[in-house]
A and B are shown apart, each in its own frame.
Chain A
Amino acid sequence: MELAKQNTELNTTDTFIQDLTTLNLGPTHPATHGIFQNILQMDGEKIVSGVPTIGYIHRAFEKIAERRNFYQITPLTDRMNYCSSPINNMGWWMTVEKLLGVTVPKRAEYIRVIVMELARIADHLICNSILGVDTGAFSGFLYVFQEREKIYEIYEEICGARLTTNMGRVGGMERDLSPVAIQKIRDFLRDFPKVMQEFETMFNRNRIFVDRVEGVGPITAERALNYGFTGPNLRAAGVDYDVRVMNPYSSYQDFEFEIPVGTKGDTYDRFMVRNEEIWQSLRIIQQAMDNLPEGPFHADAPEYYLPPKQDVYRNMEALIYHFKIVMGEIDAPAGEVYHSVEGGNGELGFYLVSDGGRTPYRLHFRRPCFIYYQAYPEMVVGTQLSDAIVILSSMNVIAGELDA
């Protein structure tokens, strides 16, 4: 009775009362690919505003790093973007090498390039195939994950680990590419293009898929730059910024490859840019394998690079260096370094301040996810809930990198 009366009163007024629903998307939600929450204000199916909450897997890496030796920080970088940990590892080693002034031999640089490009393929495969899952196409995901598994087997052959690789050393790699590893990379280069071709055939011009992603969550180049976008998300908006080309590191200037760019910055462009980058990465790996230089796989820097184990038992100097390196008794020169690499999601930067001690005085990670995820509310406003999920997965927000 009371309610009916209220309704009558409402109907007598001419104003339309908008009824908003608050929806908690996350923190744990199967479609969010990680633990982050979005409090969405919904008008029916339409999103009116969104407030992201992050920090659910914050592990204080920057603080922990202030009490760790340089080689103990690599495992922390593994756990940032865990879809492409080798890129993080190599980025960190290059930062330390820059600080210490170690020159890396060509062969080690080429091996690093191979590993980093494999990691980029794995990263983009996850992003794009999960985007397929979110739009209802499950088989593409299962299909390319077999290939991702092969990349992980290559990691395993190179460093012994699969997901959190902790790969490399100051001055190079911990061991040379084994014949098995070389064979596995060659097999991958032979078999993967066919799979990728089929994956693209399944999606690129699939009407159902294109209808779901085209024009969804566009961002202009200007806004993207203002939001600090880097990587595939920025290139999808039409800006050809790639750290590998702008500030080449680890011999990237030796390779010929193209930077794909999109035009609209929407979900479809992001998908296509990542697909094309996979092809370009394959090109780079092929070139690196064909021109893999002979020579040492690590720098001749005994004070930073662990000596061979048999020498440690027989050789005084080797024993001393082994002890000093393992106990972290290496005083780094005072100074500050910024080094950035092109991670799976964009410019992954390491800002390292050393006061001459054995640990960093301050270490700041420029994490691309953290920086571009703040544009998410702006991108989802006005779209539907199902589009918000698609935008989220096309941006490839990795919770580990977001929260560090």
Chain B
Amino acid sequence: MAEITNEQLIARLQEKFGDQVFDIQEPYGLVTVTTTRENIIPMLQALYDDEVLQMQFLTTMCGMHFPDNKGQELGVVYHVHSLQNNIRLRIKIFFPEDDAVVPTATNLYATANWMEREAWDFYGIRFEGHPNLIRILNVEEMEVFPMRKEFPLEDQTREDKINTFFGR
């Protein structure tokens, strides 16, 4: 089990993907790269097949929402892990809110199925090619995507509620 350092990982990524990966950082020791959504599936596949890196474990993926980044409001973050080399990699993609379509990773990872359904449920990110893209935790009749930032939680200091009705 050869351990791979972050520098080797970054060098390998740059050699393999060139300028398709950008914004390379290491926050708290975890290599983080950004790529485009066109590249994400070929990149995950290449990392999976790479004989050195062998990143074959999708730890988690989740949606994100940055309403202030115009044109790149929504994002998906993938955490992949190479169990052989014990190194993790975080890959991010960003895309506009009104065109929230991402190719699915379910063909590569069976575990991406529910994770993508969760991202659809909470952020309204449509995964092209997903076998069964329906809501998972919320009710099917829901019309909004509740984790988006335009739905803030209730202000805890509001005073316009009548105590009789709300039991306070």
Contact = CB atoms under 8 A, between A and B. Distances in A.
Classify the secondary structure of A's interface with B: mixed
Interface stretch (B14-22, B106-114, B160-168): B106-114
Q: Which range holds the interface residue count of chain A?
A: 35 or more
A160 interface: no
A143 to B, nearest CB: 36
A403 B27 contact: no
A39 to B, nearest CB: 13
Contacts, number: 88
B43 interface: no
A29 interface: no
B52 interface: no
A371 B60 contact: yes
Contacts of A223: 110
A33 interface: no
B89 to A, nearest CB: 11
A371 B115 contact: yes
Interface string B47-76: 000000000111110101100000000000
Interface residues of B, number: 36
A351 B77 contact: yes
A282 to B, nearest CB: 27
Given A247-B86, A336-B32, A362 B115 contact: no
B138 interface: yes
Contact of A336 (B27, B83, B118, B146): B27
A193 B144 CA distance: 53
B137 A246 contact: no
Interface in B129-168: 135-139, 146-147, 152-153, 156
Q: Which 5 A-B pairs have the closest CB atoms?
A: A228-B111, A55-B137, A366-B60, A364-B62, A58-B137
Interface of B: 27-28, 30, 32, 56-60, 62, 64-65, 77, 79, 83, 86, 88, 90, 109-111, 113-115, 118, 122, 135-139, 146-147, 152-153, 156
